[in-house]
Amino acid sequence: MRAPITQCFSRAAVTIIVTATLAAAATQAGTIDPDRSTVLITGSNRGIGLAFVEHYTAAGWNVLATVRSPERANELLILAEGYEHLIIEQLDVTDNDRIAALAEVYRGTPIDLLINNAGILGDLEKQRWGSLDSSTFEQVLAVNVFAPLKMAEAFADHVAASEQKKIVSITSGAGSVSPDRGAGSFPIYGISKAALNMAMRKARAELAGRGIIVALIAPGTVATDMLAAALPNRFAAAKTPAQAVAAMASVIEGLDDSYDGRPRNYDGSVMPW
């Protein structure tokens, strides 16, 4: 009689084997149903990105969930086991070659909604006045600003070929230059979100002629790893990712040609610029 697998391998090894098997199955098994709407989400393994995946899979969409490390995206892998139209793709949004390769893989596939969600806060110590660090600045701007711009450029044809034609980037009140906003103890992050707002204004100017709506939405304070690092004292009272995403998805659904490009809050109100 064969020994049970747990007698041959350690518990950790079994976890790795199961996860690897799930990863292979999930990335190979997912399919795009042309009769469903399609969303591509960056940074979808945790926090707000994962909640977007949960929202759009529950709504019956084709979901292209991109993550830096598919083999570690356990929640996504489990979701993909039970939902045929969830496809997990590897994507570090700072890897321009990978962005181009992914755009090529999906050439001809209409993408109704691209959500630029991936974002980083950056090392807080290295953005304090007195110890400002240029490599932290470059890293945060690469993820929070250039990557959404590059994604919009790379996937413009896919979005233009879809029915809904929407590109949404997740901004933040920390990026507002209004006198009563934008203070706070993470300046590089705030600068990056202000720059994201302008980057999307430029993308909007490029893409409006193709019928593409380029929008910015701020989720408010949401209980994720990022908030725990930025404002731990506000974590307990924050919205859950599911609550924030339900609100933002409603704003996204309501976006039409009348949208003026100004950043919106999760409740649809205009965010002070």
CB–CB of 88/63 below 8 Å?
no
Minimum CB separation from ligand NAP for residue 243, in Å? 12
Q: Can you give the binding site for ligand NAP, defined by CB under 6 A?
A: 42-43, 45-49, 68-69, 92-94, 117-120, 143, 170, 172, 218-219, 221-222, 224-227
**110 vs 154, beta carbon nearer ligand NAP:** 154
Closest CA to 89 of 60, 112, 118: 118
Minimum CB separation from ligand NAP for residue 14, in Å? 23
**47 vs 182, beta carbon nearer ligand NAP:** 47
**48 vs 199, beta carbon nearer ligand NAP:** 48
Minimum CB separation from ligand NAP for residue 25, in Å? 21
Contacts of 146 (CB under 8 A, 6+ apart): 94, 199
Closest CA to 219 of 94, 43, 47: 47
The per-residue DSSP string of 46-103 comes to: SHHHHHHHHHHHHTT-EEEEEES-GGG-HHHHHHHHT-TTEEEEE--TT-HHHHHHHH
Residue 265 backbone dihedrals phi, psi, to 5 degrees: -80, 170
CA angle, 78 as apex, 74 and 81 as ends, to 5°?
Answer: 140
Minimum CB separation from ligand NAP for residue 4, in Å? 33
CA distance 140 to 38: 28
**DSSP one-letter code for 270:** B
**140 vs 156, beta carbon nearer ligand NAP:** 140
CA distance 86 to 22: 13
Minimum CB separation from ligand NAP for residue 134, in Å? 18
**110 vs 189, beta carbon nearer ligand NAP:** 189
Please state, in angstroms and as integers, the Cα–Cα distance from residue 64 to each residue in 169, 170, 196, 242, following that order.
16, 17, 23, 18
Minimum CB separation from ligand NAP for residue 3, in Å? 36
**243 vs 261, beta carbon nearer ligand NAP:** 243
